[in-house]
Amino acid sequence: MDPFSHHNLETVLINQIQRFKNSSPGIQRRIDFSQYVNHPQIIVITGVRRCGKSTLLRQIADYFSSYLYVNLDDERFAGMGIHHLTEIMTIFEENNPGVRTIFLDEIQNIPEWERFVRRIHDDGYQIFLTGSNAQLLSSELGTRLTGRYVTISLWPFRFDEYCNGLGVTEFPRGSQAEAEVQRLCVKYLEEGGFPGFLQYKDPEILHQIFEGIIYRDIIVRYGIREILPFRELCRYLYSNLTREASYQSLAKSIGVKNAMTIRSWIGYLQDSFLISECFRFDYTLRRQHAYQKKMYGVDTGLRNTVSFRFSGDTGLLFEQAVWMEYSSRGHELFWFKADGECDFLTFNQGKITTCIQACTELTVENQEREISGLLEAMKETQCDNGIILTMRQYQDMIIDGTPIKIRPFWNEVLSKSQLIRKSTW
């Protein structure tokens, strides 16, 4: 029996749309959906597997009275080709005449999908699509769909979304409310933001996400033969997030002879959104790439589940959370090193706009180091906006005529959130 016969495809599609419509819309994300209704371009939603892309589609769907939906990650569609997408459109047109909005979930599973998407976009369809592989999407979007799309980058829940899901909808005022949000911040560093894990609190869910990406999205897709060294690299990186590393040092650590192999593997991890490289700031691009990099993950809870834990890693988790927050806002980030260090520099329109230190607590022992590194970065980059993010400290300082803000991480996140109402006195 042909699994892709007209009847079988129709049965699967009916089953999918019913399940999609009956699914929970989930926790609101920090995205203004209204701007995408009647948008003339293709809307591309990217992000790591299981971060909530399908649920985001469900939330967007509430803005439309009718729409078409297909999940191309369904195992019943395994082996499907581009010509089957044409058959699916025939079924849609027979059963839903006149409906011109379509949601395509996990589109990268279909070879040459971009040709199909371009054709139906030319035919007047409003298209929303999701994908879990940055390289596949970017290369195909860049060849056939240049100038036709806008991208929404989705992450596991950020801290304001995490708070919103736990019922915190107003900015905390007063010591009791602030103490509760601080407690949630500590909990967030441990649990992270993957929706499935937060719902069931089963670490096996995070193990499955990690292993599924490693095996299905990378090892199988890219034909990696050195499976054990590759898996060792993945765990090593997640155990040593935020630390300086070079391809040569990583190759030596896991016993791989060719550093370019490590470079390729890290590229695959980046394409699957598991790892991001942060470059040391320099005005020369060549030197940026020559320096050691820092690696950051996609989620603190995933890191805690799949890595080797060690005592005193709260600082690592805190820095990781700050990275996730600013990256998810769309900032391009660098780190700074000269006589001192600064954790993050945000880069926008050709200049550094903010210098950031991530420090769980300013103490007598670390205050000089953290402040001097921040001031050095601000002076070197001619940036007048410096901030030290901590777990709970709040202060304004002026040092040698340079203003520095010290703010709790939660304060910085929630004060900029559209999900949290700002109550007034």
Domain extents in the chain = 6-153, 159-415
Which pairing describes strands 126-131 and 42-46: parallel, antiparallel, or unpaired? parallel
Q: Tell me which residue has tokens 């490590």.
A: 262
For residue 348, what are its two tokens?
């926008």
DSSP letters for 139-207: HHHHHH-TTSEEEEE--SPPHHHHHHHTT--B---SHHHHHHHHHHHHHHHHH---HHHHHH--HHHHH
CA 300 to chain centre: 12
List residues bridging with 403 in a β-sheet. Answer: 398
Taking residue 375's Cβ as centre, other Cβ atoms within 10 Å add up to: 18
List residues bridging with 354 in a β-sheet. Answer: 346
d(CA 189, CA 193): 9
pLDDT at residue 143 tops 90: no
List residues bridging with 277 in a β-sheet. Answer: 295
pLDDT at residue 311 tops 60: yes
110-114, 179-183, 286-290, 419-423: segment of lowest average pLDDT: 419-423
Q: What is the pLDDT of residue 93?
A: 96
- At 142, is the pLDDT very low, low, confident or very high (cuts 50, 70, 90)? confident
pLDDT at residue 146 tops 90: no
d(CA 234, CA 237): 5
Q: What is the pLDDT of residue 425?
A: 41
For residue 97, what are its two tokens?
């005449």
For residue 283, what are its two tokens?
């005005």
d(CA 349, CA 287): 20
The mean pLDDT of 58-83, rounded to a whole number, is 95
Please provide the average confidence, as pLDDT, over all residues in the chain: 94
pLDDT at residue 191 tops 60: yes
pLDDT at residue 203 tops 50: yes
pLDDT in tens, 70-82: 999 999 999 999 9
Q: What is the pLDDT of residue 397?
A: 95
The mean pLDDT of 327-334, rounded to a whole number, is 96
CA 209 to chain centre: 14
- At 132, is the pLDDT very low, low, confident or very high (cuts 50, 70, 90)? confident
Q: What is the pLDDT of residue 163?
A: 97
Rounded to 5 degrees, φ, ψ at 129 are -135, 150
- H/E segment holding residue 85: helix 82-95
pLDDT in tens, 371-395: 999 999 999 999 999 999 999 999 9
Q: Tell me which residue has tokens 């980059």.
A: 381
Q: What is the pLDDT of residue 53?
A: 95
CATH architecture of 6-153: 3-Layer(aba) Sandwich (3.40)
24-28, 136-140, 157-161, 360-364: segment of lowest average pLDDT: 136-140
233 — alpha (psi -120 to 50), left (phi > 0) or beta?
alpha
pLDDT at residue 135 tops 90: no
Q: What is the pLDDT of residue 34?
A: 87
